Structure 1
Amino acid sequence: MAAASPFQNLQNDTKCPICLEYYADPVTTECGHNFCRACINMRPQGRGVAVLACSFSCPQCRVVSSRARLRPNRHLQGIVESVKRLAQQSEVLQAHSVCEEHEEKLKLFCEEDQRLICVICREARAHKLHSVRPIKEAALDHKHKLQDWLILLIEEKEGIAASKLKEEQKYKAMKKKVEAEKLKTKAEFQRLHHVLKAQEQIILKRLAAMEKTIATSEKENLAGLSAQISLLENLIKELQAKCKQPAEGLLQDVRGSLSRCESVKFRDPAKAILKPEEAMRNYKVPVTLDADTAHAALILSENGRRARWTDRPQTLPDNPKRFISDVCVLGNEGFSSGRHYWELQVLRVYCGYFVGVAEESVRRIQQSREPPRGRIWALSCYVEEYKAVTADPSGLNCFSYSDVFFSQEAPETLGVYLDYEEGTLSVYNADTMERIHTFTKAAFNEQVYPYFCLWDADLRII
């Protein structure tokens, strides 16, 4: 007796051992066996009479189980539905596997006519001069073509999805700005009430028009991107289903599938125009902290990417590079040319911190008798108040503060962008890429290093 095929075994596994039909609303007993809910809920009692009982004996292992603990097996129900569909497809394919004209099994594929033929059709005049190949060989070749298209389409879909996400974030930020401006305007006009009432209405109408414009643009752009994604998803599903079919099914209308793939218009990444803040991230460099320069009150992580302030200074070996007066640390990497960008995350801050760059010769000991050297350019944060800070080489440990800023919400992530040749240093809110401050005409005279100064704060370089 011939062994059952794997598909037949799968069909048997999806049938109830009581009614011998495909599972209907399958449930799992406490002992792990599966039955139709209707079959297991009714047990025979005397002369074939079926009654509902609170507990029952498993028909397969005789373990007593409670009906209250029957668990629906939705995963098995899904498998049953899939097996049913496969059985139907198998019947359709078997009906199309025989030549209607010669009643011979279809074993060949005609490349010119793009159809399955039998060995007798091969010798007929209609196919005598055509290129003919075995079904499996032709199916394998076309499957490779479909898979190549599948890879391209998936990449295209992911690219468009990323663009959609970026557009959504952009519009969300724009709407957030407009909403914040509305609240600010309302608060200000409430204070001035009588004098500026008319002006308030004008500005609110203008902001409402901006919201409407943004909403219209958002709807149009996102709808277009969603339509492209939907089109690609449908085509991807079609190709995935094609590639899973046997040779006969795969080759049916394969030309139509390939034609639909060729009609897809792919985006041209070479034509993408980067915004200044996006282009800036192309200069991102890995920055680590130099343990030889760290003040004793700073604890560095093993990978050199995190610094934490402690009120119990450590005992560290003497090093001429180490900061003694200020709770500072420099980066390992120094820069004497080019453009460089790095980001850091503010994990905790109770007092404040400095973030910027310092020249290599920056003073490490306040009481040093050496003449003042080494300049500093940094952004200072103290209780959400920001100041631009530069070191004044004309005095001992003297800083110059200017350009006071104030932020209603301190950014969690900061970006630092250095252009050595241009002599500029900019600090950004890396979450929104809004510029906080730019130092211009710095005129760096020597190699500069990433500079961090912490007072009861905890920073991590990303």
Structure 2
Amino acid sequence: MAFGGPKKQLYSETICSLCLNLFQDPVLTHCRHNFCRVCIIRHCQESPAPALCPLCRATVKLRNLRPNQQLANIVETIRKAKKGEKAEGRIGVCKKFFCKNDQVLICVVCDTSMEHWGHDVVPMEEAAQEYKDKFEALQQSLEKKRTTAIERKLAEEEKKQTFLTQIKLEKDEITSVFKEMQKFIKAKERLWLDQLGEMEKETEKIWEENITSLTKEIGRLSTLISEMAKKRQQPPIRLLQDIGSTLKRYQEGLLRQVVELSPRPEKRLRSYSQKRPVLLKAMENFEEFLEETFPKGKCHGSVNGKGNFSGRF
């Protein structure tokens, strides 16, 4: 600690080694050790003869005990000071220090108590500034994370539009192929388009879910950043209240895993794109079949290099 050494040393000299409390009616033994009168008498009565000093193991005789009035006066002064500081603490005046180990505000007397013995205690203002710095670093990290989330959202929206455009183009290509065919394959065309339509709906749903998830993540990060900004403006005594749980919640908000996005159906679309050349080949084969089946000009037309069928039956 940067302060409080002599104060704690003085306080330790007023503690009875038997009951570990402030001396009550302190007495001095022949070996010059101090104990509460009641404590040392009880110790001697409960110990086998001869009774020994708990500190140095020298023989203790009750008739040699002498009152230590000077020590009693010091103890009484400390006891009164402690009561006075506790009274001040009830109106928030004495809490001018912060225990880093327990993460609580404490007063001067608390600083010297057994409860905070050996703890890292600093002035309230110093602790507040330290946590403000931590909050600032966390806020900057959260802002970077929010920026990344916004960029991802924009990228997803752009990919959505591009992919939906590709689906529309694919639908148009499929439609142009099937329009050249006769009514007996119209049902096949309808089936194919229905499947692409289902994929379109699924694509809309997947991207909306992804964008919604990212929007929620951005909102969550924005809320944390706003709360943290307000927290940093609070006076030290309010800022440090429940600081442990507050800091943990903000840190958990930073460490939270990134939003998992739903997989997109690119492979399924590619499978449809790969089927289209097969359909063109089937149409060519169908033309040959018609020529062979109806050799007397029953079918007139052809499939060009672009997959367009022209002709009539």
TM superposition score normalised by structure 1: 0.34
Which is bigger in relative contact order (C-alpha 8 A, separation at least 6)? 2
Structure ID, larger Rg: 2
Structure with more of its chain in strand, by fraction: 1
Structure with more of its chain in helix, by fraction: 2
